[in-house]
């Protein structure tokens, strides 16, 4: 099993003609950026889930305890996982293309990441607006009771 993994990961040396070494190192940095972004999404999703768990203990955070928080945390973790996966696939495809002397721009990955970030931002904004509206309705009910 370990020998198969080594064969998959190990790459024969590539002649450093032109800017191949610089391009490969840039590709590695790009992979690390995708991984860092994905892990940031995952960490945010896990943190949101933990805040939701603490909401059961705190009356001031009780409004966070609902299925929307779980959904948001799941979306963040899934988005982060896809981001890390895409970065990995992109790195290995770039490695293969550079060995052939070619390069393909990452328009698909960039578009997907932009749409994901915009979607998360819009969904987060909607959740905040709905939460504020719910709190305002609760305050109005409290005023009516008095």
Q: What is the DSSP string of 94-111?
A: HHHHHHTT-----HHHHH
- pTM of the predicted structure, to 2 decimals: 0.73
The Cα–Cα gap between 22 and 45 comes to 35
Q: What is the mean pLDDT of residues 128-144?
A: 82
pLDDT digits (tens, 9 = 90+) for 74-91: 889 999 999 999 999 999
Output Rg (C-alpha) for the chain, integer angstroms. Answer: 23
Residues 52-65: pLDDT tens digits?
766 666 555 555 55
What is the domain partition of the chain in residue ranges?
19-145
User: How sure is the predictor about 133, in pLDDT bands with cuts at 50, 70 and 90?
Assistant: confident
Torsion of CA 48, 51, 56, 57, to 10 degrees: 170
Question: 93, 80 in Cβ contact below 8 A?
Answer: no
């Amino acid at each position: 099993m370990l020998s198969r993994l080594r064969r998959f990961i190990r790459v024969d040396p590539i002649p450093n003609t032109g800017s191949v070494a610089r391009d490969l190192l840039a590709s590695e940095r790009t992979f690390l950026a995708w991984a860092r972004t994905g892990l940031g999404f995952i960490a945010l999703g896990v943190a949101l889930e933990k805040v939701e768990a603490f909401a059961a203990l705190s009356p001031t955070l009780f409004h966070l305890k609902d299925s929307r928080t779980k959904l948001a945390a799941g979306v963040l973790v899934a988005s982060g996982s896809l981001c890390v996966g895409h970065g990995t696939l992109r790195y290995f495809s770039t490695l293969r293309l550079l060995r052939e002397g070619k390069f393909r721009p990452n328009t698909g990955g960039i578009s997907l990441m932009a749409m994901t970030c915009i979607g998360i931002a819009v969904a987060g904004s909607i959740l905040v607006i709905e939460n504020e509206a719910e709190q305002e309705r609760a305050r109005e009910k409290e005023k009516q009771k008095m």
